[in-house]
Structure 1
């Protein structure tokens, strides 16, 4: 029963991540809320909540440990800017320019970039397994972005560029966070990363720089949903599930995220999603599953999937 409890926790967490992307798209499309402001507020509030919960819980004595040496200070600041902020900003920029379904699937190309990184580091030719995964990623991306017609793009080019950069940023985030999580708890790392990224974004779009005129109750509810149920709640569910299931199992079940993003985008927002796009999305998910099930060789040093 504990294993099924863990499965349930991961599926709920991943689904909330996916739905939060669709909720953000609705906010961008139906209000004057800017992408930059939502990223700033989401990161600041989520970071404060993470650190506060750490301070009130078992991690209280370790909350400030990341600031006790120059090396750890530089590492957490670099992670907050080049990892956490980069992932947040590029993902929401892709949603704003296109839609949550395509943005989420493009971000799920991260395992390919991780695979390429390790192949470059180890300087060895790719295995048949890796070549199949790479072909699936290319085919899936082509079908997702063109719906089978090479002369047409299903989303603007800006959304594609931001989505691919988001996949690269998530790959870096995953690799770099592994070093920090070996020393500090994942909650502390993500909490400080969120706060640092949010503080940096405040220089671009201050949290108090907004105009609530025209906001409806739906706007406010969805903003709170993106902050709380798109970050805080799913993160704790995902991390807590590790008590019951393995990291490999949680990574496989996390594929629920793009599925929930696609489903809610189509059903709730009426986003068109063609047959070949569905085939392309399925190819990307199969690629993720293959790389997750692959015996740990080139990707054995990557951290467990710590989402955002």
Structure 2
């Protein structure tokens, strides 16, 4: 289930790359549509399963409601927009791999908060990830960037927002459930982005293929991928799931290279592998503590 969800996320990134680079879609518009529709569908499913009262319970607690809004804007909207912007200025493979540096920022934050040095495994993981990022963005050439600096910028912002997204909502998730929090978060984020990129201000090529890709991003790359990933946590631990979720950047890279003919040099591939090894090491370290 985790692997299917991860592959759907990876394919979704590649579909978004097609929409941006071949059909001239705007990343902000796609974020608005993706988050709004997925949020509505998630909340509808929660209402059917648990009742409307359960779905709106969080709005009766002002403190939790404010935390939800902050999570929606900085966490969900931040990660969605920065991820798609990284794809728009670069490609799905590098955007996804850069996003997977999120655990590095989590490690640094936790170490600073606890005022203690990271373990040797964590320090080695941080340096390995930084080395991997260097290879990824330069392809081993010190005098040039292998990908757009804007793609690197938005990819790193995506990693930071992933860290926030992972750390901030734990209390809300335990109290109200993942589907409810994610549903409201996506809907709020979609509405927020809608003020900047209204869904009715569409730019791009209006074709059957482009709308099929959009539907795939919304339904399979967002709603279904999220549901089956959450459902998998009933059977395996979160650390095991995070290791298996490395299928996302691997699938994005394979599809980008094989289907979209994106050129990724040897050193860039080596850098991506370093980042994936980092995620695996940190997840393994977490599972043994």
Q: TM-score, length-normalised on structure 2?
A: 0.97
Map of 2:121 onto structure 1: 129
Query: Structure 2: how far apart are the matches of 1:106 and 1:184?
Result: 31
Structure 1 segments of 4 or more deviating over 4 A?
A: none
String of CA shifts for 1:150-177, please: whole Å, max 9, x gaps.
Answer: 1121111011001001100100010012
Q: CA deviation at 1:78?
A: 0.7
**1:33-48 superposed matches below 5 A:** 33-48=25-40
String of CA shifts for 1:211-235, please: whole Å, max 9, x gaps.
Answer: 46x3222111100000011100111
Contiguous gaps of at least 5 residues in structure 2: none
Does structure 1 residue 27 correspond to structure 2 residue 13? no
Query: Structure 1: how far apart are the matches of 2:105 and 2:51?
Result: 33
Map of 1:88 onto structure 2: 80
String of CA shifts for 1:16-37, please: whole Å, max 9, x gaps.
Answer: 0011001000010111321111
Give the paired residue count: 289
Give 3-state SS (helix, strand or coil) of 1:294's partner: helix
String of CA shifts for 1:50-103, please: whole Å, max 9, x gaps.
Answer: 000111113644100110111011011111101110000110111101111101
Map of 2:184 onto structure 1: 192
Does structure 1 residue 259 correspond to structure 2 residue 250? yes
Map of 2:260 onto structure 1: 269
Q: CA RMSD in A?
A: 1.4
Structure with more helix by fraction:
2
55, 67, 70: which one aligns with 1:78: 70
Query: Structure 2: how far apart are the matches of 1:199 and 1:240?
Result: 27
Does structure 1 residue 16 correspond to structure 2 residue 16? no
Query: Structure 2: how far apart are the matches of 1:83 and 1:215?
Result: 31
Q: CA deviation at 1:243?
A: 2.0
Query: Structure 1: how far apart are the matches of 2:28 and 2:234?
Result: 36
Once the two structures are overlaid, the 10-residue window that deviates more, 221-230 or 241-250, is 241-250
Contiguous gaps of at least 5 residues in structure 1: 1-8, 301-308
